[in-house]
Amino acid sequence: MSLQLRIVSSVPLRYPSFEQRYSGVVPYWLLLPLQIALIALMLRIVRDFAQGDGYFVDLKPHTDAALKMLSYIYFLSMVVRYIVTMAWHPELRWFTGTIPIWFHMDLAAFILNSSLSISGQIHTSNSPEEPMDERTSASASPVKALMNWTSGMA
C-alpha cells in the first residue's frame, strides 16, 4: 500500500494552466462567484430529483420543453463558438484553450438531462417489465441512473 501511495504521489498532476481554463469573456472577480452559485444551484436540482420532491421537481407544465429547447440552443451555440475559435485561432487545435467551451457543453447536457427528468422521458428501471413506482419514476432518475451505471462497473 505504501508503495502505491508513493507511486501515485510522484506522478505529476497535469492540470491545465490558467490561460487554458480562462477565456477572459467574464472578469475573473465575477466569474468565480457565478461558478460557485451555479454549482450550488446544480446541487439543489440534483437534491430535489434525488428526493423526488422540491421546487425543481414540481415545475409548471411545459417547463421541460422550454429547458430542452434551451439546452439544444446552448449546446449548438457552443459548437458554433468552437468552430469560430478554430477558424480564428487555428493554433488552438483541438483542446488547447477550449476548455470553457467543453464545460459549457457539459452544462447544456445537464440542462437537457434535467428537462428529460422533469418530463419523465428518462426510464431507469432494471427491466422494461418492471413497473415504476413513485421512487423510481423520473423524479429520481438522474441519481438512479448514476447508481445503476456505477453498479454495473463493479
Of residues 99, 91, 139, 142, the one with CA closest to residue 118:
139
Percent of the chain scoring above 90 in pLDDT? 22
The alpha-carbon radius of gyration of the chain (Å, integer) is 20
Alpha helices in the chain (DSSP H): 2-10, 18-21, 28-51, 63-88, 99-119, 141-151
Summarize pLDDT for 34-54 with one digit per residue, the tens: 989 999 999 998 888 888 888
pLDDT at 40: 92
* Maximum alpha-carbon separation in the chain: 57
pLDDT at 2: 58
pLDDT at 100: 83
Domain residues of the chain, as ranges? Answer: 22-124+133-151
pLDDT below 50 — which residues of the chain?
A: 123-139, 153-154
pLDDT at 14: 63
